[in-house]
A = this chain, B = another copy of it.
Amino acid sequence: MASKFKLPLLFLLIVFVAATCLASKDPELKQCKHQCKVQRQFDEQQKRDCERSCDEYYKMKKEREREKGRNYESEEEEEEEEEEENNPYVFEDEHFEGKVEIGEGRIRVLQKFTQRSELLRGIENFRVSIVEANPSTFVIPTHFDAEIVLFVAQGRGTITVIKEKRGSFDVKCGDVFRIPSGAPFYFINKDEHQKLKIVKLLQTTSVPGRFETFQPAGGGENPESFYTAFSWDLLEAAFKIPRDKLERFFKQRRAGTIIKASREQIRSLSQHEEIIPKIWPFSEGETERPFNLLKQHPCQSNKFGRLFEAYPDEFGQLRDLGVAVAFANVTEGSMMAPHYNSKAMKIAVVVDGEGGFQMACPHFSSSSGRSGRWSEQEQEQKGERSYQKIRGRLRRGVVFVVPAGHPFSVFASPNHSLQIVCFEVNAYGNTKYLLAGKDNIVNKMERVARELGFNTPGREVERMFKQQEEEFFFPGPNQQEHEWAEA
């Protein structure tokens, strides 16, 4: 029976917010929810709705606090900590929707980008998910209503994809592989000791920004089989099998989404690579096989780091999505040159290591109703400043987003190198513009333009921009002075 709202939420909400004028931050939310619980005329459903309203009001309030001008009189250090918490470009553990231990592994899904901030609407259709499978396990057949680009961050396995025919592919650390929307697939971790870790970028196909998984065999701690959504008499006709057998088969509890496999089963599921691909019917031939990003010629490489890139015009699997995949390995104590992407939006996942992220962001500090530099400029005239200093502490599992045009840099901690996989959305025709190092944009300008732009004699500008002779990876910030991650 449908629930009824006997006491209007809006009314209650107003009472609540009026009542909490003096309450401090966290108690406020608690009290709101408490009010929901003690409403005797509410049934369970209404109480849940009421609590959701508290959450929404609170979230909205926090967002307004965050987006609209905060006062910047506070000391720089304090402020930066604040922003590290609040900026919508860095995602930590609490921004994953599920941290689900599923039997022999773990699957985590990052929240919708637009749930975090409207500023991320440009990548609304993309989602990130991270899968970890224990040694010697099988991840059961599933299809997604999303295009998938996956990157193997650790371990080795075999992935099988069903199209008109079946194709099986060995994958190992550094491999990139595309699974088309709707194609059922399953995979094994064939290593007996190491976890298999896979980072997935999903582009949703049915509801913008939402995706679902569908499994023919469900049960256990994973969702039921999708077959059970059909009526039994329809299934009887479809399978020509009597209902009792069907029920027994589809309703039995399974072992789970990620399950232990015997050595023999692993061996059996590993054997296909040599046999199947010859008859693999994917249209574009070789390009549809996984490719190893780390075996490409690095586009940047010195002792401070290495950068590997796969652009969609070279790799058939990425072509229709217009997504590039890159992998950066920053040596301990080193950094990337400050730079920006001309049109790509970067979604980066820290695979391992520790370090920091810095970005210049004019959007973030501008008020919501207006945009562009003109509102910035007004702030400037009022003595407020223009670019928000976005900061993020990087460690394994952190995700960060860099919009097009936004200058940013990444550095590794003094003691750990930093490994990052990046998905670059809208990558066709993208250019990396360097802001320091020997190919920086200022060096490419005419002397007179530099002089006029910086209102400084050309020689002096030159001295500033020609000192650093490395191209992309440099020795990192001097981390004796500061604690490195706040740098």
Contacts and interface: CB of A to CB of B under 8 A. Distances in A.
Contact of A214 (B227, B405, B445): B405
B25 A45 contact: no
A98 B335 contact: no
Contact of A145 (B147, B233, B405, B411): B405
Interface stretch (A290-298, A324-332, A381-389, A414-422): A381-389
A7 to B, nearest CB: 6
A131 interface: no
Interface in A458-477: 460, 463-465, 467-468, 474-477
A45 B180 CA distance: 49
A7 B235 CA distance: 58
A389 B229 contact: yes
Contact of A254 (B388, B454, B467): B454
Which 8 pairs from chain A and chain B are nearest by CB?
Answer: A182-B342, A145-B405, A98-B374, A229-B360, A206-B403, A8-B17, A223-B386, A238-B436
Given A2-B65, A224-B380, A363-B212, A482 B233 contact: yes
Q: Among the interface residues A219, A272, A380, A454, which one has the most CB atoms of the partner chain B within 10 A?
A: A454
Nearest to A73: B1
B45 A71 contact: yes
Q: Which of A18, A118, A210 has the most CB of B within 10 A?
A: A210
A287 interface: no
A52 interface: yes
B186 A445 contact: yes
A274 to B, nearest CB: 14
Interface stretch (A136-144, A169-177, A190-198, A392-400): A136-144
Most buried by B among A180, A239, A343, A407: A239
A183 to B, nearest CB: 6
A187 to B, nearest CB: 10
A449 to B, nearest CB: 5
Interface string A214-227: 10111101111011
Chain A facing B: main interface SS: mixed
A269 interface: yes
A48 interface: yes
Given A17-B10, A18-B11, A477 B231 contact: yes
A268 B448 contact: yes
B48 A468 contact: no
Interface residues of A, number: 191
B405 A234 contact: no
A451 B259 CA distance: 12
Nearest to A112: B371
B340 A377 contact: no
A66 B2 CA distance: 8
Given A372-B212, A445-B162, A241 B467 contact: yes
A234 B409 contact: yes
A129 B487 CA distance: 37
B477 A236 contact: yes
9 contacts: A1-B71, A5-B61, A184-B441, A207-B363, A216-B435, A223-B377, A229-B359, A249-B460, A254-B453
A292 to B, nearest CB: 25
A228 B320 CA distance: 38
A136 to B, nearest CB: 12
Contacts of A337: 238
Interface string A75-108: 0001000100000000000000110101000010
A227 B465 CA distance: 12
B65 A182 contact: no
Interface in A146-194: 146-147, 160, 162-166, 180-184, 186
A64 B82 contact: no
Contacts of A261: 452
A68 interface: yes
A208 B347 CA distance: 17
